């Protein structure tokens, strides 16, 4: 008699494709467990587990049947992916994916704690349908992702957040949809400044012109930024009429301070015409920092949300100087935010931006945190809530794994429709 087994279809898929996962060959009403193992780019292991009751045919179809216990419960076809947690860290950790290599995912079937079957399958960001060009020309540093098939594709500028990291997975995923995508480096990478301090906006303007020349497409560009990169995207669009659409995920309504050694510091982030742009300095009441320090000592997750709230309670004239003049933006704008953002009040910022600008859409996720959308939250990857920053600091980025995962799928579909609508 054939043992129970897992069926995954297809065994090779793109990350944003839905796949079918089922278990067959069980006895009716068998209690079965599925464990899913996923390694990130640091080779850190994340694992999910879900327990099901086999139906009258001795089968389980994950898309249609409820997990009764495990890292998620209820009916959720993607729960086995987004609910995966770091196996060694009490408070989970950030799932880091920075290269475009496919992920090999291993899945095990257990019945009464006995391993019955296992299967491995791959999920990719593209299917050999893109061309990758590393750029270090005309003082422009970054990576250009192009569809292999010749065509007149829209140009996209992708801007990372306060990590200054590479966004290769997101860039390749979008390029495979038919876009020329420039993942532009501007700090914390080889060839660009280590710190986010006095970065000239002219650098980004020149990168736009270079992108147009490289792709032989002189049309306006779509800009997508996240967090600090969303601040930058809105700022660039307020200064330059070069964009056909602006997408700002977890944005700020203000120019915020620069960064040294990965920490916000009282220094300017941006300059234009050799003049520093005014910025919102981080300020805090000592009473608000005491709970944060206590949490750090106890090695519990902390949020700096209150620091930003304190920083906004300052002189209105100084706030206005630091405010991004979004009313000058001539392109359609899409804002994406989570009300439970633990990094900064991105929904409050988004609503303030909306009050200044008519041509705007806002995806607002009530239970979402900071990582709710492309290019930092991608469909069908372990969802991110906490991040270990070293020492005793564990950042609570907000939301829940379930809410952030749901937002990532919803927003990815919305983003694709938005950029398709506004591509020139």
Could you give the residue numbers annotated as active site? Answer: 227, 341, 370
Burial of 233 (0-12, 13-18, 19+ CB in 10 A): buried
Q: Are 368 and 340 in contact (CB under 8 A)?
A: yes
The DSSP element (H or E) to which 69 belongs, if any, is strand 69-70
Tell me how far apart the 2 most distant CA atoms of the chain are, in Å: 78
Can you tell me the distance from the alpha carbon of 304 to that of 284, in angstroms, rounded to the nearest whole number?
Answer: 10
Sequence-separated (6 or more) residues with CB below 8 Å from residue 113: none
For the chain, state the CA radius of gyration: 23
Instruction: Please report which residue ranges of 89-227 form alpha helices under DSSP H.
Output: 168-175, 201-215
Q: Are 365 and 278 in contact (CB under 8 A)?
A: no
Can you tell me the distance from the alpha carbon of 318 to that of 283, in angstroms, rounded to the nearest whole number?
Answer: 13
Can you tell me the distance from the alpha carbon of 276 to that of 298, in angstroms, rounded to the nearest whole number?
Answer: 39
Tokens of 391: 């020492």
Count the helix, strand and coil residues of the chain and give each as a percent rounded to the nearest 5. 25, 35, 45
Can you tell me the distance from the alpha carbon of 189 to that of 163, in angstroms, rounded to the nearest whole number?
Answer: 10
The DSSP element (H or E) to which 39 belongs, if any, is strand 31-39
Can you tell me the distance from the alpha carbon of 202 to that of 21, in angstroms, rounded to the nearest whole number?
Answer: 49
Q: Are 58 and 72 in contact (CB under 8 A)?
A: no
3-state secondary structure 388-402: EEECCEEEECECCHH
Q: Are 313 and 290 in contact (CB under 8 A)?
A: no
Can you tell me the distance from the alpha carbon of 5 to that of 34, in angstroms, rounded to the nearest whole number?
Answer: 11
Can you tell me the distance from the alpha carbon of 174 to that of 301, in angstroms, rounded to the nearest whole number?
Answer: 33
Q: Are 252 and 312 in contact (CB under 8 A)?
A: no
- Answer positive or negative: Cα dihedral of 242, 248, 251, 256: negative
């Amino acid at each position: 008699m054939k043992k129970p087994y897992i069926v995954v279809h297809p065994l090779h898929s793109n990350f944003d494709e839905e796949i079918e996962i089922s278990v067959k060959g069980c006895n009716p009403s068998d209690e079965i467990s599925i464990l899913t193992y996923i390694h990130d780019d640091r080779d850190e292991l994340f694992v999910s587990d879900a327990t099901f009751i086999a139906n009258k045919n001795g089968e389980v179809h994950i898309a249609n049947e409820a997990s009764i216990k495990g890292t998620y419960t209820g009916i959720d076809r993607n729960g086995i992916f987004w609910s995966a947690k770091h196996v060694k860290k009490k408070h989970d950790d950030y799932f880091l994916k920075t290269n475009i290599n496919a992920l090999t995912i291993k899945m095990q079937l257990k019945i009464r704690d006995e391993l019955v079957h296992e299967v491995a399958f791959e999920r990719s960001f593209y299917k050999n349908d893109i061309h990758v060009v590393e750029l270090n020309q005309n003082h422009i540093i970054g990576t250009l992702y192009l569809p292999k098939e010749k065509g007149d594709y829209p140009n996209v500028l992708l801007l990372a957040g306060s990590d200054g990291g590479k966004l290769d997975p997101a860039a390749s995923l979008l390029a495979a949809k038919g876009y020329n995508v420039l993942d532009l480096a501007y700090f914390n990478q080889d060839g660009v400044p280590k710190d986010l301090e006095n970065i000239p906006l002219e650098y980004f303007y020149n990168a736009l012109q270079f992108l147009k020349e490289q792709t032989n497409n002189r049309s306006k560009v779509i800009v997508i930024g996240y967090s600090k990169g969303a601040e930058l995207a809105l700022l660039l669009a307020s200064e330059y009429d070069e964009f056909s659409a602006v997408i700002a995920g977890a944005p700020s309504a203000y120019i915020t301070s620069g960064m040294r050694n990965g920490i916000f510091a009282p220094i300017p982030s941006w300059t234009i015409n050799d003049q520093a742009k005014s910025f919102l300095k981080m300020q805090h009441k000592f009473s608000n920092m005491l709970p944060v320090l206590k949490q750090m000592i106890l090695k519990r997750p902390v949020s700096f949300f209150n620091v930003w709230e304190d920083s906004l309670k300052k002189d209105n004239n100084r706030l206005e100087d630091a405010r991004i003049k979004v009313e000058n933006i001539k392109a359609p704008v899409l804002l994406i935010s989570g009300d439970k953002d633990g990094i900064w009040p991105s929904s409050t910022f988004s609503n303030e931006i909306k009050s200044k600008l008519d041509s705007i859409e806002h995806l607002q996720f009530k239970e979402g945190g900071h990582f709710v959308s492309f290019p930092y939250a991608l469909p069908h990857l372990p969802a991110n809530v906490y991040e270990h920053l070293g020492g005793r600091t564990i950042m609570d980025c907000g939301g829940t794994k379930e809410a952030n995962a749901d937002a990532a799928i919803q927003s990815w579909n919305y983003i694709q429709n938005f950029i398709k609508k506004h591509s020139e």
